[in-house]
């Protein structure tokens, strides 16, 4: 389909954005569907290798251009203008994010869009707070030497993003990249192209030079993702997505020995001790299992509950799950949305089937909900709770990324820790107890990058974020992103 033919269909057409301008490509645009209804919502250009070349070349030129002369204060001010620009176009961002994801506007309005703006404010602050080390070194002649660290931008950074929290997770990487003077080529998920392109407009209006922020659209293999990660003009790759995709990108990054920063999959465990505030724990675990229809990397899919409170906890969680019903995303009362795509719904329903085959008791859900006619074509599944599965089941071992969790009782703290750690993943955990000593002990024993106690997804953007084991490489957030987003040079001056 040509660009003109696409426009004839009267659908929004999403272009690449390179060197300050929208750019089309030779490949026909692909259709992107509204997950709540299944109807085609946008047409999206797919990058060919030439488009990726153009984007990387623009980012390289911009790295050496006026952007390199921006002082720390000027970059901080630019980041703040971007944050303000997102807030000024809140309604546009909200509409675009809801159209691409089908998530409730209530959720995108209090999480995705404000957090997208906040990422720029936080890294504007970070620029001013970034110090480097210096040492006075003795020398035999007594005059000494001064060593100091000099941080320079890493260069052209490829930012490859998932679809679950599109603006939030993309800005979480773009903001530090720009804060420390890099230029970027962003590849949003093929399922959620819109807010990245809107951000390109905001960044341009904020006075950031052309070529600093570029966007290429498309898929992974044999498309924009692969072309970008294999491109020799890219100096480093930051990626959020599945562990399997991270493996492919890491192989591409090996050519040229380019650094990677990876935020990958998880199979997070929650642990509920009998001494906890049971209502708070049930509400917290329900949020962690069902928010964004379970499409949050930090979400809980395995819950270990101390035996004396197992039944009481299960009853509360069941009630919370059953209160979630499908609704039109823009209805202010809607708290539960669809999955991102037909393909992902089929994957999640595959696990729902597998759970039954493996002998699970289905406490609630387990299928597709009844839907009003307007939503009948969308990608909906029921919030689902299982009990009774063996720990060897794929449902317990593999990341599902849907609104579901399995509950198992435990008798001893060590047993809960051991079962939580029996996973190749190590992203996050949520621990519920009133015993502070135990909270510290268990938080230290669980092999994860993020441990929450009596809360979940309470994120201070200045703190380190990332996963242990196969859940990631490196840490981003606050000062922790410096190692990836800058090159540290030591300068030694003989005095
Ligand atoms: P995905 O890995 O399928 O895709 C992520 C991005 O990679 C997309 O833009 C995709 O087009 C691109 N891609 C796919 N194959 C590629 C390849 N061979 N080369 C280059 N790029 C390629 O992930 P997804 O389905 O979009 O997102 C869900 C996954 O992301 C889950 O596993 C979830 O746990 C993970 N995730 C992790 C975090 C975290 O912080 N750890 C946060 C959000 C999501
Ligand atoms: O809030 C954040 O900073 C963050 N990185 C959230 C990740 C959510 C994963 O789906």
Strands in 260-263's sheet, in edge-to-edge order, are 21-23, 16-18, 213-215, 183-187, 156-160, 236-240, 260-263, 472-473
For every residue of 291-327, DSSP letters joined together read: GGGG--TT-EEEEEEEGGGHHHHHHHHHHHHHT----
Closest CA to 6 of 28, 38, 21, 23: 28
* 6 has pLDDT over 90: no
Of 24-28, 58-62, 91-95, 292-296, give the lowest mean pLDDT range.
24-28
* 4 has pLDDT over 90: no
Cβ–Cβ < 8 Å for 271, 452? no
- The number of the ligand nearest the C-alpha atom of 47 reads 1
Give the phi and the psi of residue 27 in degrees, each rounded to 5: -75, 150
Q: Tell me the angle at which helices 166-179 and 72-88 cross, rounded to the nearest 10 degrees.
A: 160
Centre of ligand 2 to C-alpha 157, Å, is 20
pLDDT digits over 148-173, tens only? 999 999 999 999 999 999 999 999 99
> Apex CA 165: angle with CA 164 and CA 167, to 5°?
135
Q: Hey, where are the domains in the chain?
A: 13-264+472-494, 268-460
Query: Structure tokens of 73?
Result: 């204060």
Q: Would you place residue 128 in the very low, low, confident or very high pLDDT band (cuts 50, 70, 90)?
A: confident
Q: Tell me the angle at which helices 436-445 and 413-421 cross, rounded to the nearest 10 degrees.
A: 30
**pTM higher than 0.95:** yes
Q: Would you place residue 130 in the very low, low, confident or very high pLDDT band (cuts 50, 70, 90)?
A: confident
Q: Would you place residue 129 in the very low, low, confident or very high pLDDT band (cuts 50, 70, 90)?
A: confident
Query: Structure tokens of 381?
Result: 């599944």
pLDDT digits over 325-367, tens only? 999 999 999 999 999 999 999 999 999 999 999 999 999 999 9
84: left (phi over 0), alpha (psi -120 to 50) or beta: alpha
pLDDT digits over 217-251, tens only? 999 999 999 999 999 999 999 999 999 999 999 99
Centre of ligand 1 to C-alpha 49, Å, is 20
* 8 has pLDDT over 70: no
Centre of ligand 1 to C-alpha 265, Å, is 8
- pLDDT for residue 98: 98
Query: Structure tokens of 395?
Result: 């449902």
Beta 145-153 vs 486-494: how paired, if at all?
antiparallel
Query: Structure tokens of 473?
Result: 């490489």
Q: Do domains 13-264+472-494 and 268-460 have the same CATH topology?
A: no
Cα separations in angstroms, 69 against 52, 64, 203, 422? 26, 9, 17, 50
Mean pLDDT taken over the chain: 97
Fold classified for 268-460: Aldehyde Dehydrogenase; Chain A, domain 2 (3.40.309)
- Regarding the beta carbon of 164 and ligand 2, being less than 6 Å apart is answered yes
- Regarding the beta carbon of 172 and ligand 2, being less than 6 Å apart is answered yes
Cβ–Cβ < 8 Å for 446, 428? no
Q: Which residue's CA is the nearest one to ligand 1's atom 28?
A: 241
Q: Which residues are catalytic?
A: 263, 297
Per DSSP (E only), the strands in 188-267 are: 213-215, 236-240, 260-263
Query: Structure tokens of 495?
Result: 């005095």
Cβ–Cβ < 8 Å for 126, 478? yes
- pLDDT for residue 89: 98
Q: Would you place residue 391 in the very low, low, confident or very high pLDDT band (cuts 50, 70, 90)?
A: very high
- pLDDT for residue 10: 86
- Regarding the beta carbon of 465 and ligand 2, being less than 6 Å apart is answered yes
Cβ–Cβ < 8 Å for 405, 388? no
- pLDDT for residue 1: 38
Centre of ligand 1 to C-alpha 66, Å, is 33
In terms of CATH, what superfamily is 13-264+472-494? Aldehyde Dehydrogenase; Chain A, domain 1 (3.40.605.10)
- Regarding the beta carbon of 459 and ligand 2, being less than 6 Å apart is answered yes
Q: Would you place residue 5 in the very low, low, confident or very high pLDDT band (cuts 50, 70, 90)?
A: very low
Q: How far apart are CA 335 and CA 286, in angstroms?
A: 12
Pocket of ligand 1 (CB under 6 A): 160-164, 169, 187, 189-190, 219-221, 225-226, 229, 240-242, 245, 248-249, 263-266, 297, 399, 401, 427, 467, 471-472
Q: How far apart are CA 249 and CA 329, in angstroms?
A: 34
Closest CA to 237 of 259, 256, 219: 259
* 259 has pLDDT over 70: yes
- Per-residue pLDDT averaged across 30-55, rounded? 98
């Amino acid at each position: 389909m040509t660009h003109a033919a696409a426009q004839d269909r009267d659908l929004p057409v999403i272009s690449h954005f390179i060197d300050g301008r929208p750019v089309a490509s030779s490949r026909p645009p692909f259709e992107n569907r509204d997950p709540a209804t299944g109807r085609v919502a946008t047409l999206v250009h797919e990058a060919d290798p030439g488009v990726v070349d153009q984007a990387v070349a623009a980012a390289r030129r911009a790295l050496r251009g006026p952007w390199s002369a921006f002082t720390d204060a000027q970059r901080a001010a630019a980041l703040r203008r971007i944050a303000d620009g997102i807030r000024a176009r809140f309604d546009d961002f909200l509409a675009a994010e809801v159209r691409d994801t089908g998530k409730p506007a209530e959720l995108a309005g209090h999480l995705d869009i404000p957090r997208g703006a906040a990422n720029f404010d936080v890294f504007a602050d970070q620029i001013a707070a970034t110090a480097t080390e210096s040492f006075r070194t003795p020398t035999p002649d007594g005059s000494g030497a001064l060593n100091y660290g000099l941080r320079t931008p890493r260069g052209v950074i490829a930012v490859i993003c998932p679809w679950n929290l599109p603006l939030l997770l993309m800005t979480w990487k773009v903001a530090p990249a720009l804060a420390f003077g890099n230029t970027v080529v962003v590849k949003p998920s093929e399922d959620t192209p819109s807010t990245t392109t809107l951000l390109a407009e905001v960044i341009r209006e904020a006075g950031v030079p052309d070529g600093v922020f570029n966007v290429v659209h498309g898929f992974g293999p044999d498309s924009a993702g692969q072309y970008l990660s294999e491109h020799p003009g890219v100096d480093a790759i930051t990626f959020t997505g599945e562990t399997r995709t991270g493996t492919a990108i890491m192989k591409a990054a090996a050519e040229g020995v380019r650094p990677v920063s990876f935020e990958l999959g998880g199979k997070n465990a929650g642990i509920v001790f009998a001494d906890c505030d049971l209502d708070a724990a049930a509400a917290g675990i329900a949020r962690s299992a069902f928010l964004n229809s379970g499409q949050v990397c930090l979400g809980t899919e395995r819950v270990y509950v101390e035996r004396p409170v197992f039944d009481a906890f299960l009853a509360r969680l069941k009630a919370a799950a059953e209160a979630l019903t499908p609704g039109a995303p823009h209805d202010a009362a809607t708290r539960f949305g669809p999955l991102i795509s037909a393909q992902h719904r089929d994957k999640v329903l595959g696990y729902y089937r597998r759970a039954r085959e493996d002998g699970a008791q289905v406490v609630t859900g387990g299928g597709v909900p009844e839907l009003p006619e307007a939503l009948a074509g969308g990608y909906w599944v029921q919030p689902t709770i299982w009990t009774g599965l063996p720990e060897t089941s794929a449902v317990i071992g593999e990341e599902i990324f849907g609104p579901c969790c399995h509950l198992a009782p435990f008798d001893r703290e060590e047993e809960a820790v051991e079962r939580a750690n029996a996973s190749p993943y190590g992203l996050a955990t949520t621990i519920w107890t009133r015993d502070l000593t135990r909270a510290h002990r268990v938080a230290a024993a669980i092999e994860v990058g993020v441990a929450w106690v009596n809360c979940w997804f309470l994120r201070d953007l200045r703190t380190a974020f990332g996963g242990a084991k196969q859940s990631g490489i490196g840490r981003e957030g606050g000062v922790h992103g410096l190692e990836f987003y800058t090159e540290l040079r030591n300068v030694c001056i003989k005095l």
